Amino acid sequence: NLTDSMVKAIDETDRRRGIQLAYNKMHGITPQPIAKKRSSNAILAFLDVSRKLNSQQLEEVYEQVNELSLDEIPQLIGRVEAQMKAAAKKLEFEEAGKLRDRIKHLRDKLLGQ
């Protein structure tokens, strides 16, 4: 069911569209979609590579957990917690979840489990 307000809004939209089409025709304007700059893609690609490098570095440290002494594990937990909070702040929740799981693993190692 169309209400009076809906009919008024549709009529106003049609009126404005007619004015815009007439203006475009008079000035030889052909509407086109917005063309995004390629630089944004380059930035996103750089950030993706950067994240992968950071993850690989963390993986290397994480793999060396078995070689760490029990005194070094709390320091590593602190560093991983800082990275987890930074990832959450950037809204990278998947990465923050991975880091949370690593912290749990490190705490289990600390407790001898």
If you search the block for the tokens 């089409």, which residue do you land on? Answer: 21
73-75-76-78 Cα dihedral, nearest 10 degrees: 130
DSSP conformation class of 68: S
Report the predicted TM-score, pTM, of the whole model to 2 decimal places: 0.43
Name the token pair of 74.
């709390």
Q: What is the predicted pLDDT for the residue at 111?
A: 79
Residues in the chain: 113
Which residue ranges in the chain fall short of pLDDT 70? 36-69, 113
